[in-house]
Structure 1
Amino acid sequence: MFQSKVQITRTGGGKSLVCKQKESVILMGLDSAGKSTLLARLLTGQVMETTPTIGFNVGTLDLDKKTSLTVWDVGGQKSMRPNWRYYLDNCKALVFVVDSSDRTRMPEAQKALKKILSDEKLQGIPLMVLANKKDLPTCMTIREISNQLDLPSYSERLWEIQACSALKGLGLQQAFMSVSKLIKKS
């Protein structure tokens, strides 16, 4: 499990303390979508071997001098999904990760996303969909995934979709900078 860290920055010759603003972001998606690999890559810059998450992993991602995100990676197995709602308190953004190379599980992902977004704690909370595994030749396009997940139907919600590769580290930093911007807009 990854550990969260507290970051305090001294400014003005040590006379005042400025605490970074930390926003809580929940990382959800079906099992094997690559959530833990993605979080580990973001936090360490390296690929780490992961096992199916039972419970959660958490870490702090520093985006700039003033902003950091506390990212909660919640297990995606079918037996864990009823517990997702317990992680939504103080959530400022939902990052939903899908395996863009697994067409057969898109209906299941669409159903899981729709169910979690119906929770009243997520009302008005922005959504970032990460189409992971874009490095694989069998991956779907952003448009295909958007349609499969029925994203256009969420017209009352701020949302974005971006392709990424947790394994290669492609698009991750940019995606979480966009998450930060979505939080500020909401």
Structure 2
Amino acid sequence: MGLFKRIYDWLLSLFWNTEMDITMIGLQNAGKTSLLRVLAGGEFTIDSIPTVGFNMKRVQKGHVTLKCFIVDSADKEALPVAKEELHILLEKPAMEGIPLLVLGNKSDLTDHATVDQLIEALNLKAVTHREVSCYGISAKEETNLDAVLQWLIARAQK
């Protein structure tokens, strides 16, 4: 059993009776489905087909609503489009005050954008009136997912 799975099971046992709504948003091929599968306790699969419509899994970890914006950190050419889409989304009244977690997925690939590069490319410093965090992750290697879970759980406890 992988380290991430053990941490996940332990954290899940701490918060088994509460619920957290997480919306994962990102451009095509950013790794949303792969990350969702891994966070829900499943395995990473290489040959995932593109999602048509949406996937929904309930991950019980706390009673709070969060939005996660997932970016393919290895696709630097897509970052301007990701920036535009993110800022359009954040202008929606329904998004007011909701914490934002930006995940730069595919950090296991060479020449991926660093967290600092993502913050600059997505203009995250301009986002106000909400908490904003940014992590580099790899759903495939389960890199930094423990920090992501800790971030989510900390928001669930507030």
- Runs of 4+ in structure 1 over 4 Å off: none
- Aligned partner of 2:143 in structure 1 is 170
Query: Which has a greater percent of helix?
Result: 2
Give the Cα separation in 2 of the matches to 1:109 and 1:178. Answer: 22
Q: Using CA pairs under 8 Å that are at least 6 residues apart, name the structure with larger relative contact order, 1 or 2.
A: 2
What percentage of aligned pairs have identical amino acids? 29
The structure number with the bigger radius of gyration is: 1
CA offsets per residue over residues 64-109 of structure 1, 9 Å max, x none?
Answer: xxx357xxxxxxxxxxxxxxxxxxxxx7111000011111000000
Query: Which has a greater percent of strand?
Result: 1
Q: Match for 2:142: what amino acid?
A: G
Distance apart, 1:173 and its partner CA = 3.2
Structure 2 residue aligned with 1:100, among 58, 73, 79? Answer: 73
Q: TM-score, length-normalised on structure 1?
A: 0.70
- Aligned partner of 2:44 in structure 1 is 47
Structure 2 residue aligned with 1:121, among 94, 97, 103? Answer: 94
1:59 and 2:32 matched: no
Distance apart, 1:184 and its partner CA = 4.3
Q: Match for 2:27: what amino acid?
A: L
Structure 1 residues 102 and 132, CA gap change in structure 2 (3 angstroms): same
Distance apart, 1:179 and its partner CA = 2.3
Gaps of 5+ in 2: 1-14
Report how many residues are paired: 143
Q: TM-score, length-normalised on structure 2?
A: 0.82
Distance apart, 1:183 and its partner CA = 4.7
How do 1:1-186 residues align onto structure 2 when only pairs under 5 Å count?
Answer: 20-48=17-45, 49-62=47-60, 67-68=61-62, 92-185=65-158
Gaps of 5+ in 1: 1-17, 70-90
Structure 1 residues 183 and 147, CA gap change in structure 2 (3 angstroms): farther
Q: Match for 1:166: what amino acid?
A: A
Give the Cα separation in 2 of the matches to 1:151 and 1:184. Answer: 24
Give the Cα separation in 2 of the matches to 1:103 and 1:19. Answer: 38
